[in-house]
Amino acid sequence: MNRFCKYHPGTDALWFCKHDGLYLCQQCVDGRDDNYSEARCLLCNQSVEPFGQGSTAPLWHRLDRFLQYPIQLSLLPALLIWAVVAAVIPPIPALLALAVLGGIPAFGFAQAIMADKAQSRRHYHRQRTPRWQDLSSGLGWAGALLQAAPAIVLLLASMALMTWVSTVAGLVLGGVAMLLMPALWLSIQVHGATPGAWAAAPTYIFSAPRDYLVAALVAVLGWLSSAAVVMVVMDVLPAALTQAVGGALAAYWWLSLAAVCAAMLESHGRLWGLNPGAPRVTQPLAERREHVLLCAGRFDKVLLSSAKVVKTKKASLADWKKNDHLLAILGKDSERQQQVEPYLDVLVAANDWPVALQVITDQRARESNWLPAGPAIRLSIAKGVYDLAPKMVVNLLKDLHQSYPDFDDLGEAYLLLAKTLGEKFGLSGKAEQYLRFVEHKCQSARLRMQINELRQAWAD
């Protein structure tokens, strides 16, 4: 059954948090470095379990299906080609490596079978069998060859060991190599077609040990049984046919193992950061956590972090607004009151006059006749809210010469006050008083010119 993420309606839920009883999407869980083997809920920080992922039955319940997998019409050519190519190679051990060429279609199909469960596709098909068209993309070939390379090198070394040194030593080397093979294949699927991906191989062994054991046993069984069958038919059949049997067996086990690895990708891929069909998570963790906390109504938790942010120099206007909003939602009015001055500084720096005006109005409701301390900020705000709230301009500036007689820009402030009184309230007498005060106090030529301009404008 499909379920949607609690906090992203419309996005399929991929995880379930037992603690909160919530279905969550990939955005709403935390996994370190794309590795979700310890995915955690962003709300409660407890581990979450994968939800709605394909079949969760253990791999060994489906062993028969993997062993039958290569026996289907679309994959038979891969078996046949390897058999035929192996048959035409002269029966000299030194030419054994050439027989590998017959495996190329099998390598391609194997990669396509696994990629079907690992890569994001626009259309999500279930239980789709690979076709020849899948091999033509070219994209998968690098991965296919990187998956084939370690198997070929190690198995050729084992065969050489069997031929020239000791059968048992060769079989053991091949067996050990095959134990690791599923992990190497999975690493290429998960991390992409680069040799560096192999470094992640141990992850796949240890994060799903039971299923990995099944995959490793299929790989070892394939190697040992193929070697045994070839050693038996060697004495019965001509060399070319023996080689054909070897080629066909190689293709059969190769594709079986690909089917097992595909099943592992399907049931554990999410732990490894794979999420076919869904967009990758690109939003930073902090933002995603905040979204979840806000959606869940845990404003107190968000406030803890936003209060920290506004204490730093890096805090932006948006950070301040959010912090103020959270304080308002949570009814923490005394904290809000304490932050009025620094918040106003930020608003003034950003020229956000409507909000600055609101903050001052709110503060004056708490404490009548409150005004920002400092003449410079009063003048800045007065300039900003001139059209918005002329009454506030008057409040901000009217007694400046008493409170701050040494303020350098007193002339400019009173010019603005006179202009406000004259133009917004029609109080030309009062305005004239302030103009005279400026004339009397300030010698600046620029101010005198502005005074004259104002008087001329009013006289007309």
User: Which stretches of the chain bind Zn ion, using CB under 5 A?
Assistant: 5, 7-8, 17, 19-20, 25, 27-28, 41, 43-44
Q: What is the DSSP letter of 200?
A: G
Which residue, among 445, 460, 373, 382, has the nearest Cα to 417 in the 3D structure? 382
Separation in Å, CA 286 to CA 119, 282, 289, 293, 311: 27, 12, 5, 11, 17
- Please name which of 77, 53, 197, 61 lies closest in space to residue 129, comparing C-alpha atoms: 77
* Residue 450: CA count within 13 A, CB half-sphere: 17
Nearer to Zn ion (CB atom), residue 20 or residue 362: 20
Shortest approach of Zn ion to residue 268 CB, angstroms? 21
Which of 21/209 has CB closer to Zn ion?
Answer: 21
Closer Cβ to Zn ion, 291 or 424, answer by number: 291
Q: How far is the CB of 3 from Zn ion (least distance, A)?
A: 11
23 vs 212 by CB, closer to Zn ion: 23
One-letter amino acid for residue 209 of the chain: P
Closest distance between Zn ion and the C-beta of residue 289, in Å? Answer: 11
**Min CB(119)–Zn ion separation in Å:** 22
Residue with tokens 């409660």: 44
Report the number of secondary-structure helices (H) and strands (E) in the chain.
20, 5
Tokens of 364: 């004056």
Residue number, nearest CB to Zn ion: 41
Nearer to Zn ion, 16 or 370 (CB): 16
Contact 8, 25 (CB under 8 A): yes
Using the CB atoms, write b or e for 46-58: b if 16+ within 10 Å.
eebebbeebeeee
Is the Cβ of residue 76 or residue 286 nearer to Zn ion in the bound state?
A: 286
Nearer of residues 43 and 155 to Zn ion, judged by Cβ: 43
Nearer to Zn ion, 169 or 304 (CB): 304
Q: Min. distance of Cβ 307 from Zn ion in angstroms?
A: 23
Closest CB to Zn ion among residues 199, 286: 286
Strands (E), 96-155: none
Q: How far is the CB of 45 from Zn ion (least distance, A)?
A: 7
CB of 41 to Zn ion, least distance (A): 3
- Are 252 and 79 in contact by the 8 Å Cβ rule? The answer is yes
Min separation Cβ 267 and Zn ion, Å: 22
**Cα 457 from Cα 445, distance rounded (Å):** 18
Say how many residues make up the chain: 460
To Zn ion, the closest distance from the beta carbon of 7 in angstroms equals 5
Between CA 163 and CA 174, with CA 169 as vertex, the angle to 5 degrees is 85
The CB density around residue 369, as the number of other CB atoms within 10 Å, is 6
* H-helix or E-strand spanning residue 30: strand 29-32
Alpha carbons 308 and 238: distance in angstroms, whole number? 80
Orientation angle between helical segments 375-384 and 410-424, nearest 10 degrees: 30
Cβ 56 to Zn ion, closest distance in Å?
Answer: 21
Residue number with CB closer to Zn ion (191 or 289): 289
Q: Output DSSP code: residue 197.
A: G
